[in-house]
Chains A and B, each alone.
Chain A
Amino acid sequence: EIVMTQSPATLSVSPGERATLSCRASQSVGRDLAWYQQKPGQPPRLLIYNASNRATGIPARFSGSGSGTDFTLTISVLQSEDFAIYFCQQYDDWPRITFGQGTRLEIK
């Protein structure tokens, strides 16, 4: 099983600043990586797929990068609605999909 490790577990950032979240795979997943945002009481929301493609309706302040084992989600100018938990998911090893444990983005 490919293990996805996200860091940090919690990230404190002020509104208007940039947030950088990391996701590392235990082995190469190419660019088969997605990012999700989850707010309390809601399901995950797809942000990024194929490492860097924004999903439909996702603002341009969200960007993804990376390949192989190291990936980054960047939120360029944090808005109040961006404070949430973010998960990465690899699907290179389909049908053995795995998720990271999440990074909580909180207001500093």
Chain B
Amino acid sequence: QPQLQESGPGLVKPSETLSLTCTVSGGTVAGGSLSSSAYYWGWVRQTPGKGLEWIGTIYYDGSTFYSPSLNSRVTISADTSKNHFSLRLRFVTGADTAVYYCARQKTFGGVIAPYFDYWGQGTLVTVSS
């Protein structure tokens, strides 16, 4: 099975950019390769108030899908040579304080199955001056 691990600053100032990286390990056999067409890779965040919120997803070919509510502030990118993908969220406010998870989505018959079957442990990001 793949292993996913989030990393990045735990504290970000208001109006600045939140940047996180998800490193995926386990190799192709374990379903941990960002170069594989069999998987998509997403970001989800969780707050006590709003619960779980999908942020966006990237595919091996670089295509991206973003939540409409965050679309104007989010960029997800991937580095297949390092087998990691990244999240950038611009102009953050206190409402962006959350635990951020990276997670895997499979394909089925060549089409995305948009549920999340493997997750990282999550990282708490606090937005505060």
Contact = CB atoms under 8 A, between A and B. Distances in A.
A34, A45, A95, A98 interface centre (most CB from chain B within 10 Å): A95
B75 interface: no
Contacts of A99: 51-54
A96 B67 contact: yes
A46 B116 contact: yes
Nearest to A33: B115
Interface stretch (B20-28, B77-85, B87-95, B119-127): B119-127
Contacts of A87: 51-52
A55 interface: yes
A102 B51 contact: yes
Contacts of B115: 34, 46, 49, 89, 91
A96 B66 CA distance: 8
Contacts of A95: 57, 65-67, 114
> For chain B, which range describes its interface: under 10, 10 to 19, 20 to 34, or 35 or more residues?
20 to 34
B113 interface: yes
A49 B119 contact: no
The secondary structure that dominates the A interface is loop
A59 interface: no
B101 interface: yes
Contacts, number: 55
Nearest to B68: A96
Contacts of A77: none
B40 to A, nearest CB: 10
A55 B1 CA distance: 13
Interface in A69-96: 87, 89, 91, 94-96
B112 interface: yes
A49 B105 CA distance: 12
A49 B112 CA distance: 13
Interface string A42-81: 1111100100000110000000000000000000000000
B114 A94 contact: yes
Interface of A: 1, 32, 34, 36, 42-46, 49, 55-56, 87, 89, 91, 94-102
Interface of B: 51-54, 57, 65-68, 101, 103, 112-117, 119-122
